[in-house]
């Protein structure tokens, strides 16, 4: 496994900033090294300097490496038990003042499946609500802009939901207008913060884990700022807030990694 030397890490981050406009400082060096290593092996380059020389002259390889760093993996109703627990928590809050029309953020949303799943959940629970779907990758947000996904990506959605919320168009499936109308895709770099406030829910699954501790701390601070008191933060199944970071957070659904923003300082 590759361990990045300081000068390699600096050179890689400089390339990320210059070629991809990405702030490489927010990602864990070990994460960057793993992703870089897989491309060095695939291209047969012996060291980081030669790989960076290669990638500077090869736009296709640069795109492949960028996609490695962005990890676009996602799916509809990923970890369905999380949506179940989330539905329970949202319903329990609907009678609170200010919770009649929910404002949610998917940060990040990748190709949008998570935002669509959340919109379907709200619709099924009879809840009013709107979702801002954020991601760094403009390309990933394309599906949300058109409302179309590859048909095979909807095949794991249960049949009842598929029939109610998707219309097949050849090799693609289109989400219904009522679901599309609940979602607004926005391209943004979460390293610069969460461009929202007064929200009831921040879904931040499978991103946090790739970040350095200080970037995690800044993002948690941003989530606490964006959420109303009592609002919910959802992390990924393998992500957990360290005790020291708990401050304004109370764990309300352990297995689903759902935290409540308490009244305390962010
Ligand atoms: C593994 S996906 C998570 C998608 C979804 N939350 C889920 O759990 O299925 C990670 C996403 O993070 C996005 N991402 C990575 N770095 C980012 C950044 N600095 N700002 C915004 N999005 C970023 C990538 O583009 C990718 O779509």
pLDDT of residue 109: 97
What is the rounded CA–CA span in Å between residue 80 and residue 230? 23
pLDDT of residue 245: 75
Q: Which of 218, 169, 173 is nearest to 193 (CA)?
A: 218
pLDDT of residue 265: 47
User: Quick one: DSSP state of residue 253?
Assistant: E
154 lines ligand 1 (CB under 6 A): no
Residue nearest to atom 17 of ligand 1 (CA): 136
> Could you report the per-residue pLDDT of 106-164, keeping only the tens digit for each?
999 999 999 999 999 999 999 999 999 999 999 999 999 999 999 999 999 999 999 99
Q: Residue 70, SS3?
A: helix
Cα angle 158-123-261, degrees, rounded to a multiple of 5: 105
Residues of the chain where predicted confidence (pLDDT) is lower than 50: 265-266
What is the rounded CA–CA span in Å between residue 134 and residue 184? 9
Determine the residue of 65, 70, 111, 205 to mutate for testing ligand 1's pocket, defined as the one with the most ligand atoms within 8 A of the Cβ atom: 70
Q: Residue 101, SS3?
A: strand
Give the Å distance between the CA of 97 and the centre of ligand 1.
32
| Cα dihedral value 106, 110, 116, 117, nearest 10 | -80
| CB neighbour burial string for 142-170, b if at least 16 within 10 angstroms, e if fewer | ebbeebbbeeebbeebeeeebeebbeeee
pTM of the model: 0.95
pLDDT of residue 247: 86
Provide Rg for the chain, Cα atoms: 19
Give the Å distance between the CA of 168 and the centre of ligand 1.
27
| CB neighbour burial string for 51-88, b if at least 16 within 10 angstroms, e if fewer | bbebbeeeeebbeebbebbbeeebebbbbeebbebbbe
200 lines ligand 1 (CB under 6 A): no
**Is 106 within 8 Å of 118 (Cβ atoms)?**
yes
3-state secondary structure string across 196-231: CCCEEEEEECCCHHHECHHHHHHHHHHHHHHEEEEE
Give the Å distance between the CA of 140 and the centre of ligand 1.
9
Write the CATH number of the domain with boundaries 80-261.
3.40.50.150
Q: What tokens does 250 get?
A: 């109370």
Domain boundaries, the chain: 6-69, 80-261
78 lines ligand 1 (CB under 6 A): yes
What is the rounded CA–CA span in Å between residue 69 and residue 3? 16
pLDDT of residue 263: 74
């Amino acid at each position: 496994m590759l361990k990045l030397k300081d000068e390699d890490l600096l050179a890689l981050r400089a390339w990320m900033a210059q070629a991809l406009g990405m702030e490489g400082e927010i990602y864990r060096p070990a994460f960057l090294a793993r992703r870089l290593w897989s491309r060095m092996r695939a291209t047969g380059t012996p060291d980081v300097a030669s790989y960076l020389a290669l990638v500077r002259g090869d736009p296709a390889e640069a795109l492949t490496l960028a996609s490695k760093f962005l990890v676009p993996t996602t799916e509809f109703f990923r970890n369905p038990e999380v949506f179940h627990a989330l539905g329970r928590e949202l319903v329990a809050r609907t009678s609170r003042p200010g919770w009649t029309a929910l404002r949610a953020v998917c940060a990040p949303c990748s190709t949008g499946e998570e935002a669509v799943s959340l919109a379907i959940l709200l619709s099924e629970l009879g809840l009013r609500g709107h979702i801002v779907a954020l991601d760094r990758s403009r390309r990933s947000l394309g599906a949300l802009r058109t409302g179309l996904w590859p048909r095979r990506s909807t095949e794991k959605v249960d049949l009842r939901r598929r029939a109610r919320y998707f219309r097949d168009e050849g090799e693609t499936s289109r989400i219904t207008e009522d679901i599309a109308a609940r979602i607004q895709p926005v391209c943004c770099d979460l390293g610069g913060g969460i461009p929202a406030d007064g929200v009831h829910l921040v879904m931040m699954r499978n991103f946090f884990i790739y970040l350095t501790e200080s970037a995690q701390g800044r993002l948690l601070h941003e989530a606490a700022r964006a959420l109303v008191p009592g609002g919910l933060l959802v992390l990924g199944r393998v992500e957990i807030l360290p005790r020291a970071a708990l401050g304004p957070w109370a764990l309300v659904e352990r297995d689903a990694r759902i935290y409540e923003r308490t009244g305390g300082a962010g």
